[in-house]
Structure 1
């Protein structure tokens, strides 16, 4: 059973023009915004890591450029019943070292994921809930789950398959409480060695030099045809000015997220810009802790009360923000105002979801109704190097809130400091972003809105202590519902309720830009990944 594809309206955004050019050299160099923290496909669930993983290690399924789940190492799959899935594996696939791929590699991979040590963000959730695995033949597998897991095929897109033979796991057997005969499971650092980084993907690792470069070479044994590039070099260049300079100097062929102020110059000099609507929503979270006497950090002038527990205050803040002004004046073509946590037509969204209107007069009325006719003061925390124009957006929001009587100071900092402090509940109100890895609205609902529960993993990024049992019940029911239409209806209802309650205040969806030299075509991706497989010589 595969989801019916819904296509994002990327065609409405300006994409790269196609130019006829002579045959290109078979080398491609990419300037990355952020460096992957490891080659290990199961070590860190992070965008740069996942993009690198896609080149070397494939999943049973994969997300296409619009985050629709499509076939990869599994040729097809079906839900036999609510707790049983049958996957047919693709035949004739080999790893980059020439060994054949089959069901044993899938078992070994699923067994290995929970054993990864010191993972900053684990992949264990993608393989949790599997009760048993039956191998009908080397290319047919049956997964039985303890309860309905409608996202199992989608989850498998995030789990890169590794070679059982490479690590002595040819006889590994699966059990939900711990596998047996695992050989010597690899450590994360092992995959930095090209001899250990063995996958089925279109490219294989040549070298990994932290802080300098990642070099990939063409996998001549690739099952889906000959990859375009003989060699792909990825260079981390965190500074946006340095990335642009590297492109202009010819040191790289493609760069991620060029600053919008350089677009005209790049185009005048013959470089191309491609843009694509992303799945990343930029949002505000507000401390909803309702304990008596709790005042959010940075909030003053509320007579010892938490103003954010009142939905009228949350609505006032939302209506004080001119999203269109932020999108047009600060972001140019790189943002679309958001009224939901995921852009339509991704799974679980509604076409008719409105963007909250800019209405400062109504905001002042709401504050007065809530008991704050003279407003109050707060500190808005934000990263200054994680999202496009993140600090500038925070400053704009602060100015808009000041107009309705909420005196707002911005505290911006590097992403590493920001997230560490956020996780320690040090903010009263903060700006952050969320990208839905699954391509459906259950991702932000579970992470940002659902009541925080360490046992179930619900609300993992809900550091604002928001809780609405009705929304929780809808999301939980959706995650038990295998029928796609029924699940989507439940998610739509949960999202509508969350927006009506201002559970999270969405600002905009990022539109991701890439810049590249003439003679190339690049396909934008909703997940913001830069993949060599989707960069081609212009014909």
Structure 2
């Protein structure tokens, strides 16, 4: 028997599907479906220090200290924290917090977490830097823990806002695959782990016993949708309720769509470029003279070359034309008004003539060739931004080709120093300058926990020393002055080439509301039915 529908019935079915897709939230179910731009490469909360990984696992695992939508510190599993001595921080845990399997949270779980964070199997760059200053963990009682450091460490609570807490009983002997399968994914967070599928998505279900506010969603489905067009199409069709990283080219159209609303804010994500510093000789990947022959030395070791490439870029054109206004040109990594933003550091001038002069002065009057490596599915406009930069550089004689890679390949090759020049992104979720100084341009030191995402191996002893002084200075005003000095020194040395800060945007079904976050995290806890 045929089950084909007549044209009239097919039209009725399509109309019904559209009405269902845009019915008021809560009228049909308590399920929220989120389309994520950035695929998550592990459900292990300590595996990879990326915003997308952290945001997904934050549904299952809590932190001692949390950050609100404006990156301000608020209580998490710790109801309070105090510097009882210049080198000792005491954290007092909330009472009666339970793991998803019913066992109680204790200070011993915090101690176990801190020991595990820098020792995650196969991690491409985790959260070791957040716990490296801790020299001793003292469990005072079940609800009290003291963390000792060799030097004063005023940023301890800020750092620990990046460390999700795991249990000793579920985490002992567990590796990333145990978290991916769910065996070890037992947290204290607002949602319980259901499944994680690499390259596809994840599912969580509400934890009714969570210590925080009751969540409206019984189930949350996360779908990884790295393609910009597919993500926009999914929210327009009602296949998902919410998408992040709204493509700048689609933003005007989605704003006009009556079935959708847009939530947005200025973010703390810097898009930047960084050359290879790991080689002194001319064997830099993708870098040759104009005849395709190896150069005698690494041109990027010369600050004049780095400054030339910076002056060759029209950042305002990138922000306005490539990013369609969804970006803010910058010469540093924090927005105006942020703690430790240096108002004396402006947007580098677009000056092709000065760029050519600097190249000639450095010994490259005819330029050279370079390959710019970029992810093509990680940041808004990543590939198109790189293509525009390639045109700017080619105009000053640095003939540039693009190597575009999916994020999974890009992030695995970066730690092996396989890129001659690369496009990257860094979110300063701590809301202050030292987070980037320690990680992106801090000299790589596994034991110290610095420079884990410093794939290009930039190193400046002067900058490291100034950063160290800043992060061990107790007084907030003095520390800010030192950090501003470090910002200026870094921009003078051009350890990275800043391009722009992203404006974070989410598109969601009408009937929903979303609290836009400066740290660009996409959280079900930030979404709720509109009143």
After TM superposition, the score normalised by the length of structure 2 is: 0.86
Q: 1:274 and 2:263 equivalent? A: yes
Q: Residue 100 of structure 1 aligns with which residue?
A: 104
| Equivalent residue for 2:202, pick from 202, 214, 218 | 214
Separation in structure 2 between the aligned mates of residue 130 and residue 389 of structure 1, nearest angstrom: 38
SS at match of 1:104: helix
- CA distance 1:356–1:343, change in 2 (3 Å): same
Match of 2:437 among 429, 435, 445: 445
Q: Structure 2: how far apart are the matches of 1:453 and 1:213?
A: 34
Contact 2:280-2:297 within 8 A present in 1 as well: no
Which residue matches 2:80? 76
Distance, in Å, in 2 between the alignment partners of 1:518 and 1:145 is 49
Matched with 1:300 is 289
Q: Which residue of 2 aligns with 1:204?
A: 192
Alignment partner, residue 398 of structure 1: 390
Moved more, 53-62 or 300-309: 300-309
Please state how far the C-alpha of 1:222 moved relative to its aligned partner. 1.7
Question: C-alpha deviations, 1:306-343, integer Å up to 9, x for none?
Answer: 43333222222211111000110010122110110233
Could you tell me which of 153, 160, 165 is aligned with 1:161?
A: 165
Counterpart CA distance in 2 for 1:347 and 1:82 is 22
Query: How far did residue 442 of structure 1 move?
Result: 1.4
Selected match of 1:128 from 127, 132, 152: 132
Separation (CA, whole Å) in 2 of partners of 1:49 and 1:133: 27
Give the C-alpha shift of residue 165 in structure 1: 4.9
Asked if residue 51 in structure 1 is aligned to residue 43 in structure 2, the reply is no
Aligned counterpart, 1:329: 321
Matching of residues 313-392 of structure 1 within 5 Å: 313-392=305-384
Q: CA deviation at 1:193?
A: 5.8
In 2, the alpha carbon distance for the partners of 1:417 and 1:106 equals 33
Q: Which residue of 1 aligns with 2:213?
A: 225
Partner SS, residue 445 of structure 2: coil
- Shift of residue 188, structure 1, vs aligned partner: 3.2
1:346/1:441 contact within 8 Å kept? no
1:460 aligns with 452
CA distance in 2, matches of 1:339, 1:218: 42
Q: CA RMSD in A?
A: 2.8
Q: Distance in 1 between matches of 2:198 and 2:275?
A: 37
| CA distance in structure 2 between the partners assigned to 1:122 and 1:459 by the alignment | 11
- Does the C-alpha gap of structure 1 residues 467 and 158 become closer, same or farther in structure 2, counting only changes over 3 Å? closer
For residues 451-470 of structure 1, give each alpha carbon's deviation from its aligned partner in whole angstroms, at most 9, with x where no partner exists: 33344343334344433322
* Structure 1 counterpart SS, 2:45: coil
Which moved further from structure 2: 52-61 or 140-149?
140-149
Structure 2's unaligned 5+ residue stretches are 1-22
Structure 2 counterpart of 1:436, from 412, 428, 432: 428
1:102/1:465 CA distance change after superposition, 3 Å = closer
Q: Does 1:87 align with 2:76?
A: no
Check the 8 A contact 1:312/1:366 in 2, yes or no: yes
1:61 aligns with 2:49: no
Report how many residues are paired: 504
Q: Deviations over 1:408-427 (max 9, x none)?
A: 23232333333444433343
Worse-superposed segment, 509-518 or 125-134 = 125-134
1:35 aligns with 2:39: yes
Deviations along 1:120-169, one digit per CA (max 9) or x if unpaired, are 333333333433333333322222223333332122222222334556xx
Q: 2:477 aligns with which of 459, 473, 485?
A: 485
Mapped contact 2:226–2:378 kept (Cα < 8 A): no
Q: Deviations over 1:360-401 (max 9, x none)?
A: 222233333334333333332222222222221112112112
Residue 141 of structure 1 aligns to a residue whose secondary structure is: strand
TM-score by length of 1: 0.85
Alpha-carbon distance, 1:294 to partner:
6.2
Query: Which residue of the partner structure matches residue 414 of structure 1?
Result: 406
Partner of 2:222: 234
Residue 506 (structure 1) aligned with residue 498 (structure 2): yes
